């Protein structure tokens, strides 16, 4: 029964990392680069189910995070968006600068999902703690 804390903690860590990546994406939404530079890439935390937990490990199961990866949204370019802004300091001789191809509405949707997942995993930890405390009170 102690493994419930381990499983929930992997979920908490996964969603915390997701919220960090979303914060990075929103913070760099308006980052402008010169046309010959790469645009800021959208960060996405990729996780998968732990299908083969190590034997005897408390908390086996849960989410295995493979870290932060740079994933481009469907239909977008890894080069970002070229925007005509001849007055910008970084504009090239044709007047173009490079903006990241990050969609704020997608980031806000991902943030709500990550927040709910984080809250759900914390609620599991809280309920398990309450159950353990009730069991200890019965033993007295």
Mean pLDDT value of segment 54-81: 56
Element containing residue 119 per DSSP (H, E): helix 104-139
Asked if residue 39 is part of any domain, the answer here is no
Asked if residue 69 is part of any domain, the answer here is yes
The domain of 133 spans 3-30+46-77+103-139
Percent of the chain with pLDDT over 70: 78
Asked if residue 94 is part of any domain, the answer here is no
pLDDT tops 70 at residue 125: yes
Mean pLDDT value of segment 52-62: 55
Asked if residue 86 is part of any domain, the answer here is no
Asked if residue 92 is part of any domain, the answer here is no
Half-sphere exposure of residue 103, counting CA atoms within 13 Å on the CB side? 11
How far apart CA 108 and CA 19 sit, in angstroms, is: 10
Asked if residue 35 is part of any domain, the answer here is no
Kindly state the greatest CA–CA separation across the chain.
80
How much is the pLDDT for 70? Answer: 45
Mean pLDDT for all residues in the chain: 82
pLDDT digits (tens, 9 = 90+) for 98-124: 999 899 999 999 999 999 999 999 999
Full-model pTM:
0.77
């Amino acid at each position: 029964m102690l493994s419930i804390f381990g499983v929930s903690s992997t979920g908490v860590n996964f969603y915390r990392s997701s919220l960090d990546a979303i914060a990075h994406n929103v913070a760099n939404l308006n980052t402008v680069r010169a046309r010959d530079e790469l645009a800021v890439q959208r960060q996405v935390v990729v996780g998968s189910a732990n299908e083969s937990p190590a034997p005897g490990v408390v908390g086996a199961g849960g989410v295995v995070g493979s870290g932060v990866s740079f994933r481009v949204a469907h239909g977008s370019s890894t080069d970002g968006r070229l925007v005509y802004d001849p007055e910008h300091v970084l504009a090239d001789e044709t007047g173009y600068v490079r903006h990241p191809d990050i969609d704020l509405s997608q980031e806000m949707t991902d943030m709500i999902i990550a927040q709910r997942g984080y809250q759900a995993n914390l609620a599991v930890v809280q309920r398990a703690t309450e159950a353990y405390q009730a069991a200890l009170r019965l033993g007295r």
